[in-house]
Amino acid sequence: MKNANDASKNLLIFFVAALCAALFTVCDFTERTIIVGDSVITFDAYGGEAPAEIRAVRGATRELPPTARGGYEFSGWYTDSTGGERVGAGGDSFVVGGHATFYAHWERVFYDADGDTIINGIVYVFVEAGTFTMGSSAYEAGRYSDEIEHEVTLTKSFWISKHPITNRQFGRPVTNATEDRPAVNVSWQEAMDFAERQGGSLPTEAQWEFAARGGNIGKNSGYMYSGGSALNLLGWYAENSDGLGPYPVGRKLPNQLGIYDMSGNVYEWCYDWYRFNTTREGATDPAGPPSGTARVVRGGSWGSEWDECRVARRQGLDPAMANSETGFRVVFAPF
């Protein structure tokens, strides 16, 4: 009996060994990614418009959906309802890493007594969409040849900061004497990064000039400067600044929309690459050429002569340049 049992055990061991050998022969054990089903990404809009869920395999790239909520500015999608990492804003791409829920974060929008909008401590003025003549008349004093008049239509209304962004708003260490002076020594990219953190952008050259001319209210006034013809009352420039650098914002008269310091005090970065304007053709929502070597700056500064502070004056500046005469504003589309 013992020999029979031993024979049975040996036979069983033989079959198991043979089976394992066969499996090792036919199976390829090269490492590979195994995809099992879709990952589901859901969105908690926290009172905003609820986007549809996204289904995709792990590792796929997808686009984040937009959302909106009355009385609030959308800050972006985050990995946690009260914090976590920022995934991005509507339209940004992300890589699917598995099942997840992304949470909308919002900034409350407040209104001041004048009807302006305060977002993240910055006051904005509403500029209604419209059509205007960009450039200067051939008879305007101080005119340059790249200011050829042409009709521009802006199809989208926008908000623009009431003043140049200040040192306090920019987050720099300040004293009582410097907190409300324009933030200067800022490169184009630094200005753009700040604007994007606010949920906005730098103004296009067309947006800047339309706002400086007073939008639909003042576009036909024919004023050389933003808000009027008397530069000494409207802005700080070489003749009245005493060479002391930027002055606190809002100390001169505003234009027809209630926007300050668009002629003088500091040049302001625009979104566009600079191109010498040689056309009279109309344009709709222009944003400048796709590339270049200089970005547009507008408005003149505390060190400028009178002609450089004209609304139509165009200049280009190396985007890496940061100097004591150049600051910026922020614009964004209404929610």
Let me know whether 184 and 269 are in one domain.
yes
Let me know whether 136 and 261 are in one domain.
yes
> What is the CA 256 to chain-centroid distance, rounded?
25
Examine the fold and report which residue of 108, 141, 162 is the final residue of a domain before the chain moves on: 108
176 within domain boundaries = yes
Per-residue pLDDT averaged across 125-135, rounded? 95
Let me know whether 154 and 212 are in one domain.
yes
Is 50 exceeded by the pLDDT of residue 21?
no
**Lowest model confidence (mean pLDDT) among 4-8, 146-150, 187-191, 302-306:** 4-8
CA dist 299 and 164 (Å) reads 11
Report yes or no: 312 and 147 within 8 Å, Cβ to Cβ.
yes
Q: What's the pLDDT score for residue 10?
A: 54
Residue 174 neighbours by CB under 8 Å, 6+ apart:
167, 168
Examine the fold and report which residue of 108, 140, 157 is the final residue of a domain before the chain moves on: 108
The total of structural domains in the chain comes to: 2
CB atoms within 10 A of CB 231: 24
Let me know whether 44 and 151 are in one domain.
no
Let me know whether 300 and 164 are in one domain.
yes
Q: Provide the b/e sequence for 49-87 (b: ≥16 CB within 10 Å).
A: eebeebeeeeeeeeebbebebeebbbbbbbeeeeeeeeb
Percent of the chain with pLDDT over 70: 86
Q: What's the pLDDT score for residue 174?
A: 86
Per-residue pLDDT averaged across 182-194, rounded? 97
User: Residue 110 phi/psi, 5° resolution?
Assistant: -115, 155
| 292 exposure class (CB count in 10 Å sphere: 0-12, 13-18, 19+) | middle
Q: What's the pLDDT score for residue 22?
A: 46
Per-residue pLDDT averaged across 2-8, rounded? 51
Per-residue pLDDT averaged across 21-49, rounded? 62
Q: What's the pLDDT score for residue 227?
A: 95
The answer to whether the Cα torsion of 64, 66, 68, 74 is positive or negative is positive
Please tell me the pTM assigned to this model.
0.69
Q: What's the pLDDT score for residue 33?
A: 41
Which band of pLDDT confidence, cut at 50, 70 and 90, is reported for residue 328?
very high
Mean pLDDT (the chain) is 87
User: Residue 321 phi/psi, 5° resolution?
Assistant: -75, 135
Give the model confidence (pLDDT) of 306-324 as tens digits.
999 999 999 999 999 999 9
24 within domain boundaries = no
CA dist 329 and 335 (Å) reads 19
Examine the fold and report which residue of 90, 108, 126 is the final residue of a domain before the chain moves on: 108
Give the model confidence (pLDDT) of 66-115 as tens digits.
988 766 778 899 998 877 899 999 889 999 999 999 999 877 665 555 66
CA dist 300 and 285 (Å) reads 24
Let me know whether 175 and 140 are in one domain.
yes
Give the model confidence (pLDDT) of 252-297 as tens digits.
999 999 999 999 999 999 999 999 987 788 899 999 999 999 999 9
Per-residue pLDDT averaged across 46-66, rounded? 90
Is 90 exceeded by the pLDDT of residue 41?
yes
Q: What's the pLDDT score for residue 75?
A: 85
| Tally of residues, the chain | 335
Answer with the residue of higher pLDDT: 198 or 27.
198
Q: What's the pLDDT score for residue 5?
A: 52
Q: What's the pLDDT score for residue 50?
A: 86
Per-residue pLDDT averaged across 45-72, rounded? 86
Is 70 exceeded by the pLDDT of residue 335?
no
CA dist 176 and 60 (Å) reads 51
255 within domain boundaries = yes
Let me know whether 61 and 190 are in one domain.
no
Report yes or no: 136 and 165 within 8 Å, Cβ to Cβ.
no
Provide the residue range defining the domain that includes 156.
111-332
Give the model confidence (pLDDT) of 222-246 as tens digits.
999 999 999 999 999 999 999 999 9
What own/partner pairs with CB < 8 Å and gap ≥ 24 does 307-310 have?
A: 307/141, 307/142, 308/237, 309/225, 309/231, 309/235, 309/237, 309/263, 309/264, 310/136, 310/140, 310/142, 310/224, 310/225, 310/263
Q: What's the pLDDT score for residue 110?
A: 55
Let me know whether 255 and 307 are in one domain.
yes
Let me know whether 116 and 66 are in one domain.
no
Answer with the residue of higher pLDDT: 318 or 20.
318
10 within domain boundaries = no
Three-class SS state of 228: strand
